[in-house]
Amino acid sequence: MLSGKNILIGITGGIAAYKICELIRMFKRANANVRVICTPNALNFVTKLTLQNLSQNDVGIEEFELKEFKPEHISYADEADIMVIAPATANTISKLANGICDNLLTSIACAFRKQIIIAPAMNFGMWENKFIQENIQKLQNAGRIILEPESGYLACGYEGKGRLCKLETIFDKTVEVLKTEKNLSGKKIVITCGGTIEEIDSVRYISNYSSGKMGIALADAAYAQGADVILISTVNVIKPYRVEKVKSANEMQIAVEGEQNSADCIIMAAAVADYRAKNIANHKLKKTKEDEITIELVKNPDILKGLCEKRTSNSQIIVGFCAESEDLIKNAKEKILNKGCDYLIANDISRKDIGFSSDFNEVTILDRNGGIKQLPRAAKTEIAKEILKEIYG
């Protein structure tokens, strides 16, 4: 199953370290080449000799035990196809999230340019600590895969969330990542996300409830499949691919059009405001004695339609999104004809289980030839994969 794959396992100083011996055996039985690195404290729970015998490779511990001309953390990072850190303690998670490299494992993780799977295990109080959760979120935002711990009886004598997830979960996720086809290699895909912000004065603005989650999921999926991804976003995210931060519809238009000539595909997942204030006050507008106030609005540029009209080649694919609260298919059919895009992804934003800020979605994909495909409710990460599959087959 994993023949020819090089898996780097990082073990940190938690009681669940002993379980990783069986994980190594699982990878070896699948014909993977396994190398192990440990933090010094991990050896309090499992021996170096045991890990060497199971992996059939030397075990790395100290950062400067060099056996070749390259710095050890760089050579480990270059050779592996994926890195799995299990168990990941609160201490190591915090170091990874903040770029601290004070041992071999954290130095390798910092230099690692491929996917890292992190399986935390710790006391439930530590897992619930707000700083640990912030660090978990930072790692997820950076594209790292977090396999959350399970609830149950813990080594500290308490019950709660903190147990290392099942080894089968780690194994299956590793296989999934390694087996993901890089069928988008060589493709440049530009994706927009989030809701634009249109200023009224120095403190107020017009916007919408878009979280950007669908666009980010599409960018993550395209990147995992080997695409050169540019995410043009109104929300702050840190990713292993290029992210360009914008605010208004005009800024988004400039950014997208600047990438159009070299793009193979443009996916307009952002919720672009239809109107903006005609005149933006450079100071805070004061409350007056009047019961009403009038703000004159002007239309924003139709970015999607403009892209379709300026399309650089017949092979360039342009995808739009359609957020509707009623008559979803009827409005989507009218929109794809009006805009001239190749695909239109229609969302029903009236449903709370798939609407704005939800981690789930249910969409209908329309194509320019009249085809309609419905994708049932699923996580946005899965919907993103299905959309890319529909676009590229």
pLDDT tens for each residue of 8-17: 999 999 999 9
Q: What is the average pLDDT across 20-34?
A: 96
Q: Note whether residue 114 is domain-resident.
A: yes
Indicate which residues carry an active-site annotation: 156
pTM: 0.74
Which pLDDT band holds residue 74 (cuts at 50, 70, 90)?
Answer: low
Residue that is last in its domain, among 150, 179, 208? 179
Q: Are residues 386 and 361 in the same domain?
A: yes
The rounded percent of the chain whose pLDDT value lies above 70 is 97
Q: Which of 140, 146, 72 is nearest to 111 (CA)?
A: 72
Q: Note whether residue 257 is domain-resident.
A: yes
Q: Are residues 238 and 355 in the same domain?
A: yes
Q: Are residues 171 and 225 in the same domain?
A: no
Q: Note whether residue 145 is domain-resident.
A: yes
Q: Are residues 122 and 55 in the same domain?
A: yes
β-sheet bridge partners, residue 176: none
**Where is pLDDT greater, at 158 or 221?**
221
pLDDT for residue 153: 78
Supply the range of the domain harboring residue 363: 188-392
Q: Are residues 154 and 222 in the same domain?
A: no
Q: Are residues 62 and 135 in the same domain?
A: yes
Q: Half-sphere exposure of 270 toward its Cβ, with a 13 Å CA cutoff? A: 33
Q: Are residues 348 and 227 in the same domain?
A: yes
Separation of alpha carbons 199 and 378, rounded Å? 35
Q: Are residues 309 and 359 in the same domain?
A: yes
Whether the pLDDT of residue 215 is over 50: the answer is: yes
Alpha-helix residue ranges (DSSP H) falling in the chain: 20-29, 48-55, 72-79, 90-97, 104-111, 124-128, 130-141, 167-179, 213-224, 249-260, 303-309, 328-339, 380-392
Q: Note whether residue 380 is domain-resident.
A: yes
Q: Are residues 15 and 71 in the same domain?
A: yes
Q: Are residues 124 and 260 in the same domain?
A: no
Whether the pLDDT of residue 69 is over 50: the answer is: no
Q: Note whether residue 56 is domain-resident.
A: yes
Whether the pLDDT of residue 70 is over 80: the answer is: no
Q: Strands of 82-88's sheet, edge to edge?
A: 59-60, 33-38, 6-11, 82-88, 116-120, 145-146
Residue that is last in its domain, among 132, 154, 179? 179
Residue that is last in its domain, among 179, 214, 239? 179
The number of residues in the chain equals 393
What's the total number of domains in the chain? 2
Whether the pLDDT of residue 64 is over 80: the answer is: no
Domain CATH number, residue 317: 3.40.50.10300
Whether the pLDDT of residue 83 is over 90: the answer is: yes
Domain CATH number, residue 49: 3.40.50.1950
**Where is pLDDT greater, at 111 or 23?**
23
Whether the pLDDT of residue 351 is over 90: the answer is: no
Q: Are residues 166 and 202 in the same domain?
A: no
Separation of alpha carbons 345 and 140, rounded Å? 26
Q: Are residues 207 and 322 in the same domain?
A: yes
Q: Which of 263, 380, 276, 281 is nearest to 321 (CA)?
A: 380
Q: Note whether residue 1 is domain-resident.
A: no
Mean pLDDT, the chain, whole residue set:
92
